[in-house]
Structure 1
Amino acid sequence: MMPFFLDLWGCIPELSKNCTDMTNASSTYLGVIMGVIVGSIVSWWIYNRQKRTSEQQDKILSRIEYLEKNHSDILKKLADFDDKHESSFDAIQELDRKIDVLLKKDQDSK
């Protein structure tokens, strides 16, 4: 199959010695071929790096979502605890007020 492409494009003396010298054309063809090879390698390398970076970012984002969910659960528990604590604190203040009223009545009666 390679000889077909060489016949189609012309002879490349850098690759084979049994042809007529077409230096400018053959250098152009060789440059195009090398450009395609280098471009393919660079494109694959960039794709591979972006894929790995994307996978790492997905892992980090899933970890952040997990931590955020735990954080919101903890905040909800703290809010519930605060509400319960607030009602207990209000009850203690009410008892303190009643004790003060009783003590005041006791002092007034003396």
Structure 2
Amino acid sequence: MHKWLYLLVAIISEVAGTTALKSAEGFTRLWPSCVVVAGYASAFYFLSLTLKAIPVGIAYAIWSGLGTALVAVVAWVFMGQRLDLPAVFGILLIIAGVLVLNLCSTSATH
């Protein structure tokens, strides 16, 4: 169970770091830059813990897929980024892929 919690923390940390990149303005603003560094450091640390129990290909696919989808949603909700129908469809396909990996694949450890 810890492996999935670690992966969730890694995803949330990566989303926080990526979201703060815009506010960091090329690392010219201190506090958003600190959030970027802390977010990515935390993301990689917890991803490394995840890799003790989940194969790297599966963990990375889930981490990057859900991270990408969540960053798009956060940008839409908090930064006013527009998402057209193809973007929404693409995000749904990413989420569907993560679900298929977890629910149907024997490659993922359960």
Tell me the TM-score normalised to structure 2 length.
0.27
Tell me the TM-score normalised to structure 1 length.
0.27
Name the structure where helix makes up a greater proportion of residues: 1
Identify which of structures 1 and 2 has the higher relative contact order when contacts are C-alpha pairs closer than 8 Å and 6+ apart: 2
Determine which structure has more spread, i.e. the larger CA radius of gyration: 1
